[in-house]
Structure 1
Amino acid sequence: MAHTAHVPGLTVAATARRLGVAPGTLRTWDRRYGIGPSDHAPGRHRRYSTADVARLELMQRALVRGVSPADAARYALSVPEPERAPHHAGPEAGDGRPRAGGRVLPLPGADGRARGLGRAASALDSVAVSDLLAESVRCAGVETTWDEVVRPVLGAVGARWADTATGVEVEHLVTACVSAVFGSLLGGAGDGARGVRPVLLAAVPGEQHTLPILALAAALRVHGVAHRYLGADLPADALAAAARRTAPVAVVLWSLMPETADPGMLTTMPRTRPRCRTFAAGPGWVGTALPQRTGRLTSLGTAVATISAAVLL
């Protein structure tokens, strides 16, 4: 047959998986910067050739070095015959052009989604970070995205900061993107039905790090559990007022640090009828004596299952 010698290229989805980016990112790079698939065979979807993938790798590596997307694409397109990402390349080519390379977040054992998120975060590419997160939530769910994508990357960023005192800007960007993607799941109809007792979710006074409790709110929303997410640094009197107003089925208080884990927040909850259950979530509560009938939540998956069961009681 005439086509037996033709080696088909990669689809957008396959190329995205190989590079660890979202398909939407590849389409954006093609549309904005002209770095896309070169296969224009009629009657077929456009496919990425080996040279196309090599150019994309050059662009990725330049982005990690801090080059702007437009300049990174211009550089990748300027190379006549790009080769697949040489691992020994230094920061500059012999002709003075910025050669892709540089440090990336160490993510040993992480899957392609986490590695892709790490690359996009290192390049401060908020569009790619958001696209990757949204695609992971769609395909794998909130719990898997949190445990297998977000946590490894934030852990690697934290480890780098501990070693080098650098990377705070990466942590801020990832945090903002995660907050936006998870926060977008909280809207919509179905969470305010009359007569449904919600779950109250809040961070204790002084606690500003709320991504885990936001992830729990997003996961509960996806699972159809009515809740009210009250955010960071909630004063005790505001929590009490919310409990009196909503008669919640459960209250979850998040604490990252032992300094903010105050059992008094749990013991001074107003008595509602029927009584609500209380849960302490986060590492701040480790080693703290909790009031009777207060449960501990140690992971997102456990929290979703435990709270869902409590709602059904």
Structure 2
Amino acid sequence: MTTPPDHAATPPGEEGGSVAAEGDPEHPLTLSVAAVARRLGVAPATLRTWDRRYGLGPGDHTTGRHRKYAPRDVARLELMQQALLRGASSAEAAEYALTATATATATVASPATPSPPGRRALRLRGANRLAGGLARAVVGLDQAAAQTLLADAVEADGVLTTWTGVISPVLAAVTARREPSGAGAEVSHLLEECVRATLARVAPIVTEPRNHRPVLLACAPGERYDLPLHPLAAELARRGVDVRNLGPALPVTALVAAVRRTAPAAVVVWAHLPRYADPAVIAALPRTRQQFRVLAGGPGWRRGVVPHPAERATDPAAAATAVERAVCHP
């Protein structure tokens, strides 16, 4: 096994080196706070909170030294994550992790270990580690951890990659687990609010736009799911495009009024569900002296229902490319 660069122990066999017991803080597999955070897909601040509130910290308490997590410390954190994924509160998950019996390399509870509290875990098929970290945060209703992880992901990989690779898989898993009775709604609501808050912070105010006329974004009448408009608006702003996001369920009369008032360069009409993808909405857009492009955005618009001359864009990435091409490179 290759030792990561941030492991501080001296390799066995070198002069002055010694092999400590696996549970000892001097074991060569000890990890820093940052390394454990990366491994678990959580923010370092979350690990410090778990240490301060629940005693789930590293076993190395030597004064004046960087604290290191031994394998047994990491195993406890993995057990806490398992409980959080099942819907346990942070306090319940911590109690479970502290009382459960785990091996130094455990990632799940052994047969002799009590079952983790809470509901079943989110199923993230093919998702990356950041998506797993976001899932753990929102199931545990840890808003600070979720927003920190999202902000770090956007800074590292950009808005659209974060939306596609991190946010969308968790949204799908939360939706699939939500019960018809409404149980689990708190998780989806927290996730959506964290996404909106993060994207609002990363979207710059465009004072010198590349487009001379604005771009209007709006959901079709009746369509209340406007979350995909937020990564689209944020990405376009980061590309220097002036955008006006008019939000969910905009009446046709309001959309027509906005078009007449702003003389936009492009209009995106978003429909997540097919029942809201009404071609009559696009047909109702007024003809103005300055022509504008129309995009039918979202998976609700099926092929064959998009009236000419509107274009079809199924996701925020496709819509961002089409809008930028239309208004910046006509």
Secondary structure (helix, strand or coil) at the match of 2:120 reads coil
Q: Deviations over 1:109-157 (max 9, x none)?
A: 2111112222223333333222222221121111111111111112122
Q: Does 1:229 align with 2:245?
A: yes
Aligned mates of 1:174, 1:2 — CA distance in 2: 50
Q: Which amino acid aligns with 1:19?
A: L
Q: Mean Cα displacement is larger for which, 223-232 or 42-51? A: 42-51
Q: Which ranges in structure 1 are unaligned for 5 or more consecutive residues?
A: none
Question: How many residue pairs are counted as aligned between the two chains?
Answer: 308
Could you tell me whether the CA contact under 8 Å between 1:191 and 1:225 is conserved in 2?
no
* Residue equivalent to 2:188: 171
Aligned to 1:275: 291
Partner of 1:2: 16
**Cα distance change of structure 1 residues 226 and 245 upon mapping to structure 2, 3 Å threshold:** same
Matched, 1:107 2:139: no
Q: Does 1:15 align with 2:32?
A: no
Question: 1:240 corresponds to which residue?
Answer: 256
Segments of 5+ residues of structure 2 without an aligned counterpart are: 1-14, 20-25
What residue in structure 2 maps to residue 210 of structure 1? 226
Q: Are positions 1:124 and 2:138 aligned together?
A: no
Distance in 1, matches of 2:224 and 2:171, equals: 16
Q: Which has a greater percent of helix?
A: 1
Shift of 1:279: 0.3
State the one-letter code of the partner of 2:284: T
Q: Which amino acid aligns with 2:35?
A: A
CA contact (8 A) 1:104 1:118 kept: no
After superposition, what is the alpha-carbon deviation per residue over 1:247-275, rounded to whole angstroms, capped at 9, x for unaligned? Answer: 21110010112221122222222333431
Q: Which moved more, 1:8-17 or 1:234-243?
A: 8-17
CA RMSD of aligned residues (A): 3.1
Alignment partner, residue 25 of structure 1: 46
Deviations 1:207-243 (A, max 9, x none): 1001111221111122221101111111112112222
Per-residue CA deviations over 1:274-311 (Å, capped at 9, x if unaligned) read: 31111000122114533322111122222221111112
- CA distance 1:30–1:256, shift in 2 (3 Å): same
Aligned to 2:170: 153
Equivalent residue, structure 2, for 1:53: 74
Name 1:307's counterpart in structure 2: 323
User: Could you tell which deviates more after superposition, 43-52 or 254-263?
Assistant: 43-52
Instruction: Mark the CA change 1:34 to 1:238 in structure 2 (over 3 Å): closer, same or farther.
Output: same
Amino acid at match of 2:280: G
Letter in 1 for 2:69: Y
Distance 1:279 1:195, change over 3 A: closer
Give % identity: 48
2 CA distance for matches of 1:16 and 1:86?
A: 15
Higher mean Cα deviation, 297-306 or 200-209? 297-306
Calculate the TM-score normalised by the size of structure 1.
Answer: 0.85
From the superposition, tell whether residues 106 and 251 of structure 1 become closer, same or farther in structure 2 (CA, over 3 Å): same
